[in-house]
Amino acid sequence: MIRSAPEQLAREIEVRVRALATALRKSGGREQSAADLAKVAAAASRLGEMWQARAGGASEALDEEAARKARHDLRTPVSHMMGYLELAEETLQEIQSPGVEVKAWLVEIGRLRARVDELRVALEAGMRAWAHERPSSPPASRPPGRRGRGGARVLAVDDDGENRNLLRRHLERQGHEIETAEGGELALRLARETPPDLVLLDVMMPGLDGYETLRRLKSDERLARVPVIMLSGLDHAETIVRCLEAGADDHIPKPFEPAILSARVESALERKRLGDREREHLAQLLAAKRRADAFIDYVVPMGARLAAQTDTPTLLREIVEVARRFTGADGGTLYLRREDASLQAVVQVVESRGLDRSSGDPIEDLAPSPSAQLAARSGRSQRIDDTGDASVDAPRSIFALPLRGVDDELRGVLELTDARAGEGADAATPVAFDPARETALEALGRLAAVALARNAHEQSLRRRIADLEVQIDEGARAREVAVITDNDYFRELRAKATRLRARGRSQPGQPSPSAGAKTKDEVDDGPR
């Protein structure tokens, strides 16, 4: 069903109601009804203005709250219109034996009520469309084709200047952004510069005609999905079929009915929006599948491999290698967290420089990079797609991954540098790290951290067991004790030791005799 734009309807109602009010006043004694009708006209005028203002700013998406308020604001005048029309009608119906004039007024009021009803329907339909608008995200980041109703970029192509003007005015009224071209060549150039959301394309044009322009549009990979509506004065079935066969989405005969134009434009845009959403969804599904594949094919087996590695130096090296292989990174540096929370590099591999330091001993001359430190401090992965540093040894792309185990405690940081596409002549050219693999990489980091924690724990257990192992060689001890004790000095010492100790005790407060003490015979008070 094709509807007039709400503001057009409102304007029509306003004009007709004012005329009716004037007629009532002229015939005399109908002041009340005339006043009611004046209120209907005022409401219609207000509504028209509001709708236009709303449509003009439609490229700005409304959030839920604002949309609710706008709906309310628009419904209010409609109900006023209905209410006052009914009042006027009732007043006129009360007239005893009405003349032709009054009957004619009642007929007109009946028609006006039908128009107001039509207006209400059109408004509701228009307002429903707002619900499709995505709230809040800034326009710049919105992908083409996701603009809300009225916010689309339309390219209108017609060799006739007046036609272009008409198209522009109509579509701008609907809140779209219009670019025009007077021929196929320019149209193609403009479209390639910035792909539009919709193309309106005249069939008959000098130079590149509509068919050829359409063909070229559809064979351009970037533009193939932009819907095209053909405009043609030749309303032949043959023309229409030819256009549709060539990939046009719709066809509008010229001269176009504004209502038909806007209806077709909106429905084409809506189809495109749906199609885009569908594709986006599919892309998400594919990305999710790739992530799942990465998990099953790589993260799970590699995690198991790390978990089985009990030799610490080998484990450290493997963590770096596994992650490097997974991302295609040229370099990998593993830092372990020291007790004072600083980072200590223990493995460094940079393939392109033939660097391989992975003995498992601390690499003292390697200070942690800013990215690694940031990853450690924030606990979050740090990705730099392009450092912009062109010096020889400086990495172009960086991915620093904090290694945190199940307890969330930071064990270290793994820094990968210079991801590579890995094929052909560009194999050595660094690229950015694949964001789609981030989750898998983080999972790998967690497994690595768990393996590290497990090894550290095992080592400390082993150390503890060694500490606790108190072994005494009894034979050796007996021999050593014999060497010390099996002599006269010791025997003598032993004989007088108790006396030596007891000497002061039996004479509290007395100056100790310095000589002869050892000969003094004292009572052995025994060990205490």
Partner 1 sequence: MGRAEIVSVHSFRGGTGKSNSTANLAACLARMGKRVGVVDTDIASPGIHVLFGLDLNETEHTLVDYLWGRCEIAQAAYEVGARAGIEGEGRLYLIPSSMRTSAITQILREGYDVVRLDDGLRSLMDELELDFLFIDTHPGVNEETLLSIAVSDTLLLLLRPDQQDYQGTGVTLEVARMLEVPRIWLMVNKAPRSSDLSALRARVAETYAAEVAAVLPHDEGMLTLASAGVFCLLQPEHPISRSFDEVARRLAKRESQA
C-alpha distances in Å from residue 252, one per residue of 233, 249, 412, 450: 9, 10, 65, 66
Per CB under 8 A, which region of 119-127, 249-257, 411-419, 499-507 contacts partner 1? 499-507
Per CB under 8 A, which region of 344-352, 398-406, 432-440, 474-482 contacts partner 1? 474-482
Nearest to partner 1 of 393, 524 (CB atom): 524
520 belongs to the binding site for partner 1 (CB under 8 A): no
**CB of residue 494 to partner 1, shortest distance in Å:** 6
Nearest to partner 1 of 206, 508 (CB atom): 508
Contact predicate 130/57, CB 8 Å: no
Cα gap 476→108, rounded to integer Å: 127
C-alpha distances in Å from residue 288, one per residue of 33, 157, 291, 296, 437: 67, 41, 5, 12, 10
388 belongs to the binding site for partner 1 (CB under 8 A): no
**CB of residue 276 to partner 1, shortest distance in Å:** 59
336: closest CA among 492, 434, 449?
449
3-state class (DSSP) for residue 154? strand
498 belongs to the binding site for partner 1 (CB under 8 A): yes
Query: From the CB of residue 25, how many other CB atoms can be counted at a distance below 10 Å?
Result: 16
Per CB under 8 A, which region of 16-24, 85-93, 265-273, 506-514 contacts partner 1? 506-514
Per CB under 8 A, which region of 285-293, 297-305, 350-358, 487-495 contacts partner 1? 487-495
Per CB under 8 A, which region of 289-297, 317-325, 401-409, 505-513 contacts partner 1? 505-513
38 contact partners, CB below 8 Å, separation of at least 6: 17, 18, 21
Length of the chain: 528
338 belongs to the binding site for partner 1 (CB under 8 A): no
**CB of residue 362 to partner 1, shortest distance in Å:** 17
Which listed residue (134, 271, 289, 494) binds partner 1 by CB under 8 A? Answer: 494
28 belongs to the binding site for partner 1 (CB under 8 A): no
319 contact partners, CB below 8 Å, separation of at least 6: 306, 334, 347, 403, 414, 448, 451, 452
**CB of residue 519 to partner 1, shortest distance in Å:** 11
306 contact partners, CB below 8 Å, separation of at least 6: 315, 318, 319, 322, 447, 448, 451
Cα gap 42→315, rounded to integer Å: 81
Nearest to partner 1 of 357, 501 (CB atom): 501
472 belongs to the binding site for partner 1 (CB under 8 A): yes
The site map against partner 1 for 418-457 (x = CB under 8 A) is ----------------------------------------
464 belongs to the binding site for partner 1 (CB under 8 A): yes
Contact predicate 50/74, CB 8 Å: yes
**CB of residue 509 to partner 1, shortest distance in Å:** 5
Supply the angle between the helices 210-219 and 184-193 in degrees, to the nearest 10: 20
Label residues 479-498 b or e (16+ Cβ within 10 Å = b). Answer: eeeeeeeeeeeeeeeeebee
391 belongs to the binding site for partner 1 (CB under 8 A): no
Q: Which residues pair with 403 in a beta bridge?
A: 412
Q: Which residues of this chain interact with partner 1, rule CB under 8 A?
A: 460, 463-464, 467-473, 476-477, 480-481, 484-485, 489-490, 493-494, 496-498, 500-501, 503-505, 508-515, 517-518, 527-528
